[in-house]
Structure 1
Amino acid sequence: MKLRTAAGLAGCLMATVAAGQNPQPAGAPKAGDTRALEAGAKLLQGNAPLAGFDIYLNGFHPMKDHPEMQVEAHHFCRQVNEDFAQCALFDGNTRTANLNGIEYIISEKLYGRLPPDERQYWHPHNGEILGGQLIAPGLPEAAEHALMKKKMNSYGKTWHVWNTGANGKPGDALPLGAPMLAWSFGRDGELLPNMLEERDTRMKVHTGEKRKSRADLKPLAHPQGGVDALKGKFPRQTQDIPGVVDSQPPPAVK
């Protein structure tokens, strides 16, 4: 994935880093006085705005304008109220993970209040949920199922701001270029299969089993805007996910 607009920009400024790793950002190691300031801040300042980001979701994002640019996204979210959540996105789930994006999640009710021109930025979630791609690592099955039920028919607005490497491609040692609007996968076959297999193996989950366990959520699915936004933009054969339907009917055949 390239989150920049000028080809070769990274090469002019810094070396790239290997994909599959959390890149060490460019810069000198922390000095002793910096570490001392950090220790003092930890004792005296607190981190109240971050304390509520305690919901962990893992899924995948294609870039809307470049669907073959795909990343695994680790979401750490705060549920503000029943209709709105906000998430910090990272390229991993360890202490060395890099912040590389943000996502806001809204309910179907709030999406319905958006001006038509605004809706182009909000991707639907039913495909991720019913397809089994979106998971909540570490939660018991019953708790994860309840969480996914809560997120049915919701929408996300996601911006990725740093290419830190994905799917065998190198990343950048600093955030470069313009942010890129991310989207969701609404059909089987859109997500690169090796990315799903690697995630499932590493996190010891089985997307197919997740999908089966969520079959009871299908009757809750409403048609959503944006399901067909990436239709036909992948070189691979794709298939509809049962229950995942675009809210805009296809044009009449004349």
Structure 2
Amino acid sequence: MSRQIETHHYITRLNQDFLRCAVYDSNEPSANLIGVEYIVSDKIFDTLPSDEQKLWHSHDHEVTSGMWVNPGVKETMQRTELENIAHTYGKFWCTWQKAQCVLLLLEYSDRLPLGAPALMMSPQIVNMGVINPELVLVRDRKFNISTDELRKARADIPASKPGNARVADYWMHTGKGFAIDIEQGEMKMLGGS
């Protein structure tokens, strides 16, 4: 929870309810592919078992807070898409733990995706999910935008459907997350024992 990273999502819309994103650590030509995020509509999310829903995060706060940005696209042009994204859920697997790798193997952290994948979360309004204001200022300067202005312009975007029992943002409700441990295991034959 103490690690916040910059991400740039390059999105492919597979259909109205399912998007796939290649996630990079910058928008520079030398950017590293650091993971993949799958995004589903609330229509699909509602059909998932609760154990699966725990692995997903909501996007409504990310949109309404001004954290979700599409640099270079006028707010009025992206309004419908933002309203749709506010009602989606993402599962983001980060496969390149750059900040964590610096502590492990400094000489390789910028060249290799070391370590186990990590399930990431999105910014939220609660203490552990609030983005460091300095990071927001750096982002705003870089793209010549104002998060405060975006937040005001998006104040009327409705949040996720009220009344639905959702397990998304599990960490926010419980203070607990999920980690992958690398363990050696026996290989199993397909169709065999």
What TM-score do you get using the length of structure 2 for normalisation?
0.77
Whole-angstrom distance in 2 between the partners of 1:188 and 1:208: 18
Count of residue correspondences: 165
Using the alignment, how far apart are the partners of 2:140 and 2:82 within structure 1?
18
User: Given residue 88 of structure 1, which amino acid in structure 2 is its aligned partner?
Assistant: A
Deviation at 1:133, TM superposition (A): 0.5
Alpha-carbon contact 2:97-2:117 (below 8 Å) kept: no
Q: What residue is the counterpart of 1:45 in the other structure?
A: none
Hey, what's the Cα distance between the residues in 2 that align with 1:118 and 1:221? 18
Q: Does 1:221 align with 2:160?
A: yes
Deviation at 1:96, TM superposition (A): 1.1
Alignment of 1:191-230 (within 5 A): 191-218=131-158, 220-223=159-162, 224-227=166-169, 229-230=171-172
Equivalent residue, structure 1, for 2:185:
none
Amino acid at match of 2:120: A
Q: Distance in 1 between matches of 2:65 and 2:2?
A: 19
Q: Does the C-alpha gap of structure 1 residues 159 and 89 become closer, same or farther in structure 2, counting only changes over 3 Å?
A: same
Once the two structures are superposed, the pairs formed by residues 177-196 of structure 1 within 5 Å of their partners are: 177-187=115-125, 190-196=130-136
**What is the alpha-carbon distance in structure 1 between the residues aligned to residue 173 and residue 146 of structure 2?**
26
Aligned to 2:27: 93
Alignment of 1:136 with 2:64, yes or no, is no
Return 5+ residue gaps in structure 1 as ranges. 1-66, 234-254
Q: Check if 1:114 corresponds to 2:48.
A: yes
Contact 2:4 2:131 in 1 (8 A): yes
| Matching residue's letter, 1:221 | S
Following TM superposition, by how much is the alpha carbon of 1:231 offset from its aligned partner in structure 2, in angstroms?
Answer: 5.9
What is the CA-CA distance between 1:68 and the residue it aligns to?
Answer: 1.2
Residue 250 of structure 1 is matched in structure 2 by none
The CA deviation at 1:188 is 5.8
Q: 1:202 to 1:72 in 2, by over 3 A?
A: same
Report the secondary structure of 1:72's partner residue: coil
Identity rate, percent: 35
- Following TM superposition, the consecutive aligned residue runs of length 4 or more in structure 1 with deviations greater than 2 angstroms are 163-166, 169-173, 220-233
Q: What is the match of residue 148 of structure 1? A: 82
Q: Residues 209 and 232 from structure 1, CA distance in 2 versus in 1: closer, same or farther, beyond 3 angstroms?
A: farther
Pairwise mapping of residues 228-247 of structure 1 onto structure 2 (< 5 A)?
229-230=171-172
Matched, 1:127 2:61: yes
Output one character per residue of 1:23-63: Cα deviation in whole Å (capped at 9) or x when no partner.
Answer: xxxxxxxxxxxxxxxxxxxxxxxxxxxxxxxxxxxxxxxxx
Residue ranges of structure 2 left out of the alignment (5+ in a row): 176-193
RMSD: 2.3
Q: Report the secondary structure of 1:69's partner residue.
A: coil
Partner of 1:244: none
